[in-house]
């Protein structure tokens, strides 16, 4: 009956795998590392997940598995149907973003903590973001679009760092949410 979920629907992980395969055959390992080097910050994947989705894609004839090579390396090639499915998927409105930030939970319940502990958490968090920012600024994007993703990462890290600096410089005086940055 109509209204059922189409069996051809792709989730975002499947879509991105097809996207990476668009340029040529790759193994699960290759995909894993290609994602790791860029997109993984904004769409995390694990090995088991990638291999599982590859199997699903294979079952749906959107990719074909090549002969197992050295060390069980098995290259997957996108099929014509796979390319078509990808093109359809990429043209759909992307779903809502999701942020899971344990630091903000801790902060939310900050009244149960002493100031020192909270300050320590903020500081170690700042270090993480500063390091990532440093990392990003050393990268050259492949093209305009991956560059835009990189720019998002940079803007995000900067915003977080500025937010932490604002918090820690005026921990209990200034009204929160006022003027988060100014040159």
Partner DNA sequence: ATCTTGACATTCCCTTCTGGAAGGTGGACC
Partner DNA sequence: GGTCCACCTTCCAGAAGGGAATGTCAAGAT
Binding residues for its own copies restricted to 55-74, rule: CB under 8 A: none
Cα(122)–Cα(2) distance, integer angstroms: 51
Binding residues for DNA restricted to 61-120, rule: CB under 7 A: 70-74, 98, 100
DSSP calls for 147-162: HHHHHHHHHHHHHHHH
Cα(30)–Cα(21) distance, integer angstroms: 10
Binding residues for its own copies restricted to 74-133, rule: CB under 8 A: 86-87, 90-91, 93-113, 117, 121, 124-125, 128
Interface with its own copies includes 172 (CB under 8 A)? yes
Give the one residue of 19, 38, 41, 51 binding DNA; rule: CB under 7 A.
51
Residue given tokens 């209990």 in the structure block: 172
How many Å separate Cα 9 from the centre of its chain?
A: 21
Minimal distance, residue 134 CB to its own copies, in Å? 13
Minimal distance, residue 169 CB to its own copies, in Å? 12
CB neighbourhood size of 17 (10 A): 29
Residue given tokens 């902060």 in the structure block: 107
Chain residues in the site for DNA (CB under 7 A): 11-13, 27-30, 44-49, 51-55, 70-74, 98, 100
């Amino acid at each position: 009956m109509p209204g059922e979920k189409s069996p051809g629907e792709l989730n975002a992980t499947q879509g991105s795998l097809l996207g990476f395969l668009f340029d040529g055959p790759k193994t699960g390992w290759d995909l894993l590392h290609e994602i790791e080097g860029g997109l993984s910050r904004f769409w995390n994947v694990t090995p088991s997940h990638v291999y599982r989705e590859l199997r699903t894609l294979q079952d749906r004839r959107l990719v074909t598995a090549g002969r197992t090579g050295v060390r069980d390396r098995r290259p997957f090639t996108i099929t014509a149907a796979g390319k078509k499915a990808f093109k359809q998927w990429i043209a759909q409105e992307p779903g809502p973003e999701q942020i899971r930030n344990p630091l903000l939970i801790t902060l939310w319940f900050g009244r149960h903590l002493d100031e020192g502990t909270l300050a320590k958490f903020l500081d170690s968090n700042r270090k993480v973001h500063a390091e990532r920012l440093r990392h990003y600024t050393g990268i050259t994007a492949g093209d305009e679009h991956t560059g835009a993703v990189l720019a998002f990462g940079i803007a995000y890290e900067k915003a977080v760092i500025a937010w932490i600096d604002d918090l820690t410089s005026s921990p209990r005086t200034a009204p929160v949410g006022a003027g988060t940055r100014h040159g």
